[in-house]
Amino acid sequence: MDSPSQRTKQDTTPQARRIQCEIYRRMGPARKLELVFATYHMGRQLAMVGIRLQNPHASAEEVWHLWARRHLGADSYDRAYGVMSYE
């Protein structure tokens, strides 16, 4: 499987890649961190939508716990929150 940087090289023209690199180069650290958090938040929301589709009767709290268990892994989740009783 290709790394993210290899995929970018394959699906982005050299000119677009140069522009993208220049934008990131000029971007301050705070803005870069904002983008990281926004991307993480979007990914979490997409994962929760998928969980909701798989568990349409789950409460918002149950959806969050199902997401947390997937995100942390069963062992870490169980140590932090206890064993899930609804799956």
**What does the alpha-carbon distance between residue 32 and residue 24 come to, in Å, rounded to a whole number?**
8
Contacts of 72 (CB under 8 A, 6+ apart): 80
Confidence grade of residue 17 (pLDDT, cut at 50, 70, 90) = very high
Whether residue 72 contacts residue 80, with contact meaning beta carbons closer than 8 Å, is answered with: yes
- Indicate whether this model's pTM tops 0.85: no
Computed from CA positions of residues 29, 72, 4, 19, in that sequence, does the dihedral angle turn out positive or negative? Answer: negative
Q: Which residue has the higher pLDDT, 87 or 68?
A: 68
